[in-house]
Amino acid sequence: MLRSYFYSLYQYLLLFGICANGLPTSQVPISAPPVLSLNRTVSKELFYELEELARIVDISYCVGTIGIQKPFLCASRCQEFPGFELVTTWNTGPLLADSCGYIAVSHFPSPKRIIVAFRGTYSVANTIIDLSTIPQEYAPYPGEEGLSTPSESIADPLWRPQKHVRRITGAVEDKCDNCTVHLGFMTSWRQTRAEILPHLEEAIKKYSDYQLTLVGHSLGGAVAALASLEFKARGWNPKVTTFGEPRIGNQPLMKYMDDRFLPSGEDESAAMYRRVTHVDDPVPLLPLEEWGYKMHAGEVFISKPELSPSVSDVQHCEGDEDPQCITGGDSTSMAPADNEIGKWLEHANLTEIWSDGARVLAIPARYKLWQLFFAHRDYFWRLGLCVPGGDPWDWYREYPNNGTDEL
């Protein structure tokens, strides 16, 4: 019996590896079930859908400049979408938390959609300063229900609605434990929702069989991300695409997003959220992980540095931060104030705004300031200029029939 006891103990020790040198060489660990790898190749249908959405969000750069007029007229690419009907535009102002964009209804021959397009910022200085903002606690809808006026939000970005504020009936109270969000992005969304919710509710009621579609570029991608969480909680089931979206919050918030847009076990290639990144774009790597910010899933990565990409240059990514995608170059290096960005800030007379005299900038090694003007704008087309045909860089660039001959 004693021999049986020691034999059982020996087997126990082998099973749990309680040995100074780990498992014996003769012991074969129990292997986990094989994990099916992600099919990284994007379909032609998705490729041309993303290309079209890039042109749709490019039109948003007319808001705040030349403008967009009804039925759907502008100095940019509006004529490329004859089935679009403009609902409204919004422009919350020129400050750091500014937000611009438009709502349009997409009729035949385009797919039936209610489109909300969020413009990025025109100011590179605003971009860099905004990305340094300290995070705040995130409270999911309807916990933050209620809208401030633009003047209230600007005066106090941490403004909270009072008890008398109207709440939407039927909304489910939700929790996001330990979630934090970028203050500037959240302030921008609070101001935006005051402008768009009445129009959006009316459009959804009128076109109940149309797909709610959100698209944003740059900081507009961050606002679209926060809008998508509220719209999802409202039961509107939005389909979201962002280009060059920055990090918006911490790991608990990213898990909260993943749970809603990519439930466990679902194929990422069929996700309702596509976060498109580009190999040389520094913005998806900001704000830095060292500041408490992380990425969420749904990434679609463009690996070709220059325009124009082909289907083979675009791939699905796995998980929140796939090392084969944009995160692959996100190593960090500490740099003093006289580095590349510091010199630029000094030249732009922004040193006092950026530095408090003690802060040391930690930036990704691959970060190149000039890529804000190129790679950050290069998503199928060069985005960000409201002129006929888009940026002159694109005037002689075409995608063949949007793939209709090949599909």
* Omega before 287 within 30 of 0, i.e. cis: yes
Strand-pairing partners, residue 382, are: 378
Catalytic member of 130, 258, 281, 320: 281
Strand-pairing partners, residue 275, are: 242, 299
Give the sheet arrangement for strand 100-106, strand by strand. Answer: 84-91, 100-106, 113-118, 211-217, 239-243, 273-278, 299-302, 314-316
For residue 339, what are the CA distances in angstroms to 295, 330, 359, 361, 367? 26, 18, 13, 9, 12
Q: How far apart are CA 82 and CA 86, in angstroms?
A: 11
Active site residue 164: no
Catalytic member of 218, 228, 280, 296: 218
Q: How far apart are CA 28 and CA 40, in angstroms?
A: 32
For residue 91, what are the CA distances in angstroms to 110, 118, 194, 343? 26, 10, 11, 32
For residue 298, what are the CA distances in angstroms to 83, 261, 378? 29, 8, 19
Active site residue 281: yes
Q: How far apart are CA 238 and CA 121, in angstroms?
A: 23
Active site residue 313: no
Per-residue buried b or exposed e for 358-385, using 16+ beta carbons within 10 Å of the residue's own CB: eeebebbebbbbebbebbbbbbbbbbbb
Catalytic member of 322, 376, 378, 394: 376
Q: Which residues are catalytic?
A: 218, 281, 376
